[in-house]
Structure formats: C-alpha cells, structure tokens
Chains A and B, each alone.
Chain A
Amino acid sequence: MIASSHNIDQKVMEISALNTEIQELKSQFAETRTKAMYMRLETEVKTKLSERGFVSSVTPPTKIIIE
C-alpha cells in the first residue's frame, strides 16, 4: 500500500516534468515555425533576392496537361 502510493507520487512528478517538456517543445516548435513562415513570405523572399537582381515573374506559369 505504502510502496504503491510512493510509486504513484513518483509517477506524478514524472508526468509533471514531461508536461513541462511538452510545453517547451511546443514553444520551440512555434518559434521555429514563425521564423520559417516569415522567411517564406513572398515579400521577404523578394527583398532578399532583389539585392541580387532577381524580380518576380510577370507572366503566369504554364501547366501542361497531357491527355
């Protein structure tokens, strides 16, 4: 009875530590995702590439469908 109760106590500590870890990983994920999303934004890419002389295309791409 006492042993099992201590066991449970230990489990609770473990769960709480794991929960904190989940939160932290989630936060890390959101942070990285935010960074990636910014880098992906067209206006960002455009400003970065304009330094090297790239401009965005004015004509749409062509999709060739083979029947």
Chain B
Amino acid sequence: MVVGLFLLGLVIGYKIIHIQFVEGDSFKLLAEKTTIQNFEIQPIRGNIYAQDGSLLATSVPRYIIHFDAATVSTSRFENHVDALSDSLSQLLGKSVNYYYNTLVDAHKKQHRYRRIAKDLTYGQMTRLRTFPLFRLGGVRGGLVVERKTVREKPLGKIAERTIGYEQEQPNGSYVRVGLEGAFGDQLRGIPGLQLRQRIANGQWKPLSDSYLQEPQDGYDVQTTLDVNIQDITHHALLEALENFEADHGTAVVMETETGAIRAVANLGRTEEGKYYEKLNYAIGESHEPGSTFKLMALVAAFEDQVVDTTSVFDTQNGELTFYSKYKVRDSRKGGYGKIPITEIFERSSNTGMVQAIYDQYKSKPEQFVNRLMNMGLSEPLGLPIVGEGKPLIPHPDKKGWSGISLPWMAYGYGVLLTPMQTLTFYNAIANDGVMVKPRFIERTQDARSKMKRKSDVEIISASVCSKETIGKVKSLLKGVVEKPWGTAHNIYDPNFAIAGKTGTCQLDYNTDEVQYVASFVGYFPSDRPKYSCIVVVHRPNKEKGYFGSTVAAPVFQKIAHKLYSSIPVETKLSRERYLEITQRKMETSKGVVDAKVDVTKTQNKS
C-alpha cells in the first residue's frame, strides 16, 4: 500500500518534471500562439479623384446580414415575422412573401446562419437595425451583421473601365485593370505588423504601443479625368451606339497642349442590346484605321515633297485595280474625275489617295514606311494602363510585305493602330507638331503627409513634321468640315470651327458579310485647338447607317459643342470704358445711385 502510494507519487513527480522541462517549451509556445499573435494591419487603399477633386473610387464598408433563427424564441418570432417581412420587402425590393418564406423556413430548420441580404450600404444597414425583431439585436433578435470593405465608384458605370479594378490572385499576383491596376502599387499601401494579446470579448490588445512595422496607407491618385466632360462623352457615345445598334464604340477627349485625357468612354453591347463599359477599346483594340490614316500618309508625302497642295491626281472613275484582281473603290461610283490632292483628302477619295501615294513611292516604298515610323506610328505609347494594343506598320524588309501593301496603306488598310494612338497623332498636328504622351494622372499624393508628386507633360516627339506641312494639313482638316464637298460638312457650324477627318473602314472584307468601323478624329476650335477627340463606332447596323460622317461625326460634334459652350470667351475692357458703361446703365435705372459709388470703390481697391 505504502509502496503503491510512493510509486504513484514518483510517477506524478516524473510527469511534472517532464511537462515542465521536456515538453515545457513547446507548451509555452502553444500558449503564446493562442493568446499572442502577430497581426497584419491593413493599410487604407488610396482614393482616386477626378481633376476637380470629385471622388472616382474609394474604399467603403458594405454589410452582409444573416439571421440566426435558433436564438430567437418561437413566440417572439411569430409575433414579429409578418412585420419584419414587410419591412425587409420595402427596404430591399423583393416580395413580402419571399422574406416571409425565408424567415419561416430558417426558423423551422433552426438555421443559425441564414443569409437575408448582402452588399447593404451603411444607410440601409442602420435602417434594417430598426426593424421589428432585428431591433432586439443579436441574441434576442437573431440579427448577425458582418462587414467587408469594397471599392466604391461614385460615378457608377461611367468610365468604369478606365478607373478599373485590381484583384489579388491566389498566387499573390494581381489582375490589373485600368487606373486601379496601373497605380496599384501606390494605391495599395504597405501592411503593418503588430503583436497583440487576446483579451476578453474576442478582442486583441496591442502588446506595445509601437508597431513592429508601421502600416503605410496608400497614396491618393488624382487623375486628369473631368467628370463633366466624361459624362457628356459617355452619353453622346451611348446615344449613337443605341441609334445605330452598333456592337461597340469608344470616344476619347484629350487636352491638346498637355495630352491630359479628360474623358474616355468605352461601351460594348450585351446580348439584350444594352451597353456597358465592357473593355477598354480606346487603349486595347488595335484595328485598321481606314481613311483617318490618310492624314499620316499625306503628311509623309508632303514631308518628302513628292506631293504638294496643288498636285492633281486622277480618281480613275472611282475604281483602281492591282494585279488584275485587287480593287480599290471610291464610295461614290464613277469617282470625282481629276481633282487636286486637297479635294481628294476632303472628299476622302480612296482611288485618288492611293494613286497619289502609289505613283510617288512604288519604286521606293521603304522611304514612305520609314517616314511613317519616324513619326512614331510603329511604337506603342507606353501607357500606364496595361493591355495597350500594338501598332503595326508593315515594312518592305519584313515578312508579310506584298505588292498591295503600299497602295493599301495609303488609305489605312493593312496597318493597325489603337484609337488612342490615332488620336495622339492628330493631337500632335493640332499641337503644331509636338507629340505629347496621353496623360491620365495629374499627381499622386500621400493622404497624411500631403506630399505630392506631380506627373509632368511627356513629349514623345518635339516635332513630327515641318511647320509648313502642319499648316497645309491643318487647312485640309478644316476643309473636311468647312467645304461643301467635305465628308463631314454635315457637322459644319459657322460659329464654331471643327477640324478633323472621317473614316469608314470595312471589316471582314474578305467575306460576303462586310461590316464597318465608322470614325471621326479631329480637334477644336480649329484655329487655336484646345481639345482633340476621337470617336470610333464598330459594326453599326448597316441599314441604319455606317459612314463616319453619319455615325461618328455627330458624336464628336455634340462633345465639341458642349465643351465650346462651356469655355468662356474672354473680352478685355479698359477701366474707363467699364465705368462708362456701368455709369450709363446706372443712370437708366433709377434708385441705384448708391450702387454706382460701390462699383467705383471696389474698382479702386483692386
């Protein structure tokens, strides 16, 4: 008996020593692990702003509501379920029956976690907290509220693709779309680390008042986008797409001098015929530009002095044939006879243009192609937004060059450009030859320290061509709208001068089902350009219209007019003249003598 007790004591003693000294360290570690943890402190993602400070993207909480049926007493549930279903239906839109059935079902099956609603805003959530039953809270009312942080875009569907999003993949890489993706590194911030100890109520308290690693909130990014211009552009494009039942389209507005992008609209059609920001066509989609490329071809010809504004070419009865089977046709049957190059451009004669370029360059196509390349047309713009479409300018030394490459290039086939690249070139013409890179960002800013980093105007090429050539093509671009025979004369307005070029490009031209891309690109006001703009509409319903002039140019006009009527006209007035006018006005209206004195006073002060 005694020996037995002694042995038991020995065994217990051994176990104590074993636990204390042999297993001790691992148990201590386990204890620390469950009560002390290294917490990652999430930084706050930076906001994205428009040029005027309007919010384009910010992080906000959203709420998910579940119902815990097991914690609510049956009598209380039955008392309130009708009123609660009614309130839920009013707040969330689904039928009273739907909520009634959900709640009753959850109660019958004693579900502890039945989803009632998701993605509620703060306002909706606070209202829901006042509903019958739910106002009793978690234990007695069975209300379970969870919070998550989402990215909110106050402009909604407008410019959605340009603002974009960023999504972390399981492997730690990111899907990057639009500006959210392009500036993800700045916006994201750096998570901090802090040691915390578990305390009552499931809370964790910091072990020391300093962080192991300080979290750094993301930078705010201020874009060049203008909310109002974006709004106008979006709706003007949308209207045209709806009217012409097109597949998709894009419109971009760029400030001529700085290259600042003021608006980008990208709309694609759904199966139901609705439109939304589907893809960033403006940046991502390279396509054959068609007639808008005639400007580039003509600039090259002017620069090489092989063609001049007085040169006359034969439009060949509206049809040209290469290798006895490849045909170039004019949109007007029979052509325009022999007309000067200026008119060929303004009328957008394909045969005339091809004739002019082919005649001059057929023995030296590399000179033409090199000229185009020197103008920066074969290089991508290097935009921060990922997924820029690659431009293509065929070269006689490279694979794919054939006898029809040169004539086809003259009117914009066989080459590929994105709308943004085409716009950048036209903007260079508007900007007297200085090619600036399209700019999306005004500055990035640290929200706390207010430290700013400005993004400057980047010049791609100080001069894409000579001043003489600029002068010539500028007057041609003006002529396209101004001249009665110009292809875009339908948008002519004597009060407001637009310069630009139409494009009606064929798609699927090797098949029986030819489709079109209608475009218009240009700038305004034509004498002192302030904005450049491109409108591209893909695959309009042919029965409704497909010409650049009827589909795309009116969109351009609408945007231009709107901007024009919001840019103030400045008139200068000498002070004497001003006083004279106001005095005369004052005299004609009795009883405002005192006001006259006030006017002079304020004048003296300034």
Contact = CB atoms under 8 A, between A and B. Distances in A.
B571 A64 contact: yes
Contact of A23 (B147, B201, B204): B147
A60 B496 CA distance: 11
Interface in B530-580: 561-562, 564-575, 578
A9 to B, nearest CB: 5
Interface in A1-59: 8-9, 12-13, 16, 20, 23-24, 26-28, 30-31, 33-34, 37-38, 40-43, 56-59
Contacts of B13: none
Nearest to B577: A66
B514 interface: no
A27 B120 CA distance: 11
B139 interface: no
Contact of A60 (B155, B206, B564): B564
A60 B574 CA distance: 22
B376 to A, nearest CB: 34
Contact of A8 (B200, B205, B232, B572): B205
A17 to B, nearest CB: 10
**Of residues A20, A30, A33, A58, which shows the largest number of chain B Cβ atoms within 10 Å of its Cβ?**
A30
B119 to A, nearest CB: 12
A23 B61 contact: yes
A67 B572 contact: yes
A29 to B, nearest CB: 8
Contact of A31 (B122, B228, B232, B574): B122
A18 B147 CA distance: 15
Contact of A58 (B200, B201, B227, B565): B565
Contact of B203 (A12, A30, A58, A60): A12
Interface in B197-212: 199-201, 203-206
A59 B227 CA distance: 21
A30 B152 CA distance: 8
B146 to A, nearest CB: 12
Contact of B199 (A12, A30, A31): A12
A26 B59 CA distance: 9
B206 A63 contact: no
Contacts of B61: 23-24, 26-27
Nearest to B201: A13
A62 B232 contact: no
B568 A61 contact: yes
A26 B573 CA distance: 48
A63 B228 contact: no
B122 A24 contact: yes
B231 A60 contact: no
A12 B203 CA distance: 8
B494 to A, nearest CB: 13
B314 to A, nearest CB: 43
A26 B566 CA distance: 33
Interface of B: 54-55, 58, 60-62, 121-123, 147, 152, 154-156, 199-201, 203-206, 227-228, 231-232, 235, 495, 561-562, 564-575, 578, 603
6 contacts: A26-B60, A30-B60, A34-B152, A60-B567, A64-B573, A65-B570
* 6 shortest interchain CB distances as A-B pairs: A27-B122, A34-B154, A63-B568, A12-B205, A27-B60, A30-B60
Given A37-B155, A60-B569, A67-B574, 20 more contacts: A9-B203, A9-B205, A12-B205, A23-B61, A26-B60, A27-B121, A30-B58, A31-B60, A31-B122, A41-B227, A41-B231, A42-B232, A43-B231, A43-B235, A59-B495, A60-B565, A62-B569, A62-B571, A65-B571, A66-B573
